[in-house]
């Protein structure tokens, strides 16, 4: 089960990085279009805001995937321990 939690953690890290850079690239594209239209304020604001939002989204996705993988691992570890084993014995009538 450790493998599954590592897969979830790694895939979350990858998705977080992809989303972070996609948001930043989108802000740069909007900034370039605004510069072409000679609107310097919009270009500057779109670049700054996209960097902040991209960083935030990347951190949130990375931390949530890490938390999810930890919960999966701890749940498996708890359920497989002898203390919490459930013995399903059928009663004879």
Q: How confident is the model at residue 77 (pLDDT cuts 50, 70, 90)?
A: confident
Which letter does DSSP use for residue 86 in this model?
Answer: -
Structural domain range at position 41: 2-77
Is residue 89 included in any domain, yes or no?
A: no
Is residue 87 included in any domain, yes or no?
A: no
Write the pLDDT tens digit of every residue in 12-70.
Answer: 999 999 999 999 999 999 999 999 999 999 999 999 999 999 999 999 999 999 999 98
- DSSP state letters, 42-80: HHHHHHHHHHHHHHHHHHHHHHHHHHHHHHHHHHHHHHH
Is residue 44 included in any domain, yes or no?
A: yes
> Any idea how long the chain is?
93
Is residue 34 included in any domain, yes or no?
A: yes
Is residue 27 included in any domain, yes or no?
A: yes
Is residue 45 included in any domain, yes or no?
A: yes
Give me the number of domains the chain comprises: 1
Is residue 83 included in any domain, yes or no?
A: no
What is the value of pTM for the model shown? Answer: 0.73
């Amino acid at each position: 089960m450790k493998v599954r939690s590592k897969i979830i953690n790694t895939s979350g890290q990858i998705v977080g990085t992809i989303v972070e850079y996609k948001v930043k690239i989108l802000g740069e594209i909007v900034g370039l279009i605004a510069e072409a239209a000679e609107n310097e304020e919009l270009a500057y604001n779109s670049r700054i805001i996209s960097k902040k939002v991209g960083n935030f989204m990347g951190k949130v996705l990375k931390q949530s995937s890490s938390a999810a993988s930890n919960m999966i691992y701890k749940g498996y570890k708890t359920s497989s321990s002898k203390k919490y084993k459930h013995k399903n014995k059928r009663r004879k009538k």
